[in-house]
Amino acid sequence: MTENLYSPCRLCPRECGADRSGGVRGRCGALSTPVISRAALHMWEEPPISGTRGSGTIFFSGCQLGCIYCQNREISRSPDFGRRVDSEGLAEIMLSLQKMGAHNINFVTPTHFMPHVAAAVDIARGRGLSVPTVYNTGGYELVDRLRRLEGKIDIYLPDFKYSVSALALKYSAAADYPDIALRAIAEMVRQHPECRFSDGGIMLSGVIVRLLLLPGAVANTKLALSRLYSEFRDSIYISIMSQYTPPPGMPPPLNRRVSAAEYRDAVGHAEKLGIKNAFIQQRESAEESYIPGFGEEFIAGCPQHGI
């Protein structure tokens, strides 16, 4: 399973058909061996994900979506930035993070390495991994690919970046994003129809959808809230994020942070709709420090299987 899904690669809705195993890079820029830029405990996810001890994040380099304002561009635009690992190495990293106290194992931007992620979860479960797994994605996913993760992923943490096709085209060259992401979220909800938490409030399974509010695009977020609530009601949680940090050289309106008025407008709309299951971010989180440094922390895992 691990190799053949990479060649020709149709792992994501770009469906490039690139022969990644044969050394050809697709739109995501990745070849067929996972590259990890960071593996560490992370305290800045939603409270039931980070908990008190941190989420065991594993950041994959490269990305198929390529948003012009990417908040993780240091790694998304550099598919070779970091360490190469195989499924065994990935499983050992997961076990190391669990040993450090991670509440969960959080795969960040994993879509283009989905076959390795699935195989590594199986290996790690066989070796004692007991914490939940989190699939932390931009939301641009194919339903039949997500079905392969059923039973392996406990928590889905997708973005719903765009409800407006023109904006998806302009910022991510993906006019089909709104419909594709909604179908993907529906599949995630099919796999986990309700959110479950431990007595201590740590998430065990379910779906949290993230809405990163973009400057000048509050209408996009409000429509996203309406569509999500009309489709999924209280079976999901929605996280409304204010942390957008403009990368250098962005054109207006992406060259500024989200204003307090814009954020209030989005949150007010969620309240008006009657959304109860929402995470609202403190405005102080809108700092560059919210974005983790890459290449700074790395769990050794199993040196045998690092490449």
Binding site for ligand SF4 (CB under 6 A): 9-12, 14-16, 18, 20, 26-28, 30, 64, 112
Pick between residue 86 and residue 262 the one whose CB is nearest to ligand SF4. Answer: 86
The answer to whether the CB of 95 falls within 8 A of the CB of 58 is no
Minimum distance from CB of 204 to ligand SF4 (Å)? 29
Shortest reach from residue 124's CB to ligand SF4, in Å = 23
Alpha-carbon separation of residue 233 from 93, 160, 230 (angstroms)? 36, 15, 6
| Closest distance of CB 274 from ligand SF4, Å | 37
Strand partners, 137: 158
Position closest to ligand SF4 via CB: 26
Which residue type sits at 298?
A: F
Of residues 26 and 158, the one with the C-beta less far from ligand SF4: 26
Nearer to ligand SF4, 40 or 65 (CB): 65
Strands 35-42 and 55-60 turn out to be antiparallel
Q: Residue 97 or 142: which CB sits closer to ligand SF4?
A: 142
**Shortest distance (Å) from residue 62 CB to ligand SF4:** 8
Give the nearest distance from C-beta 112 to ligand SF4 in angstroms: 4
Question: Which one, 2 or 226, has the nearer CB to ligand SF4?
Answer: 2
Q: 20 or 192, CB closer to ligand SF4?
A: 20
Work out how close the CB of 111 gets to ligand SF4 at its nearest, in angstroms, rounded to a whole number: 6
